Amino acid sequence: MSTAVKKQNLTVRLRTATIKQAKALAAQRSLSISGLVEEQIEALVGKEDAYERAKRRALELMEKGFPMGGKITASRNELHER
């Protein structure tokens, strides 16, 4: 069973000089300008997703804490006795 990826058109306005450079770059990579834009946006989104996953993982680890060794022998009240 094959799952088709649904695509949708997007209109982007760029300077003429940028379009000329993009055409040349796309041709060097054997891509269309649409393919070049798709490739770059997907890479950007992928990096953002990876960053968010790493951030969530780091926050979970900080919340959980890290074993630092040692053993607490006094109670909380004993430690805070004045």
Structure tokens at 74: 């006094």
Q: For residues 34 and 22, what is the distance between their CA atoms, to the nearest angstrom?
A: 10
Asked if pLDDT for residue 2 goes beyond 70, the answer is no
Domain extents in the chain: 34-65
| Whole-Å CA distances, 75 to 20, 24, 63 | 72, 71, 22
pLDDT value of residue 82: 65
Average of per-residue pLDDT values in the chain: 90
Exposure string (b/e) for 28-42, b if CB count within 10 Å is 16 or more? eeeeeeeebbeeeee
Predicted model pTM: 0.61
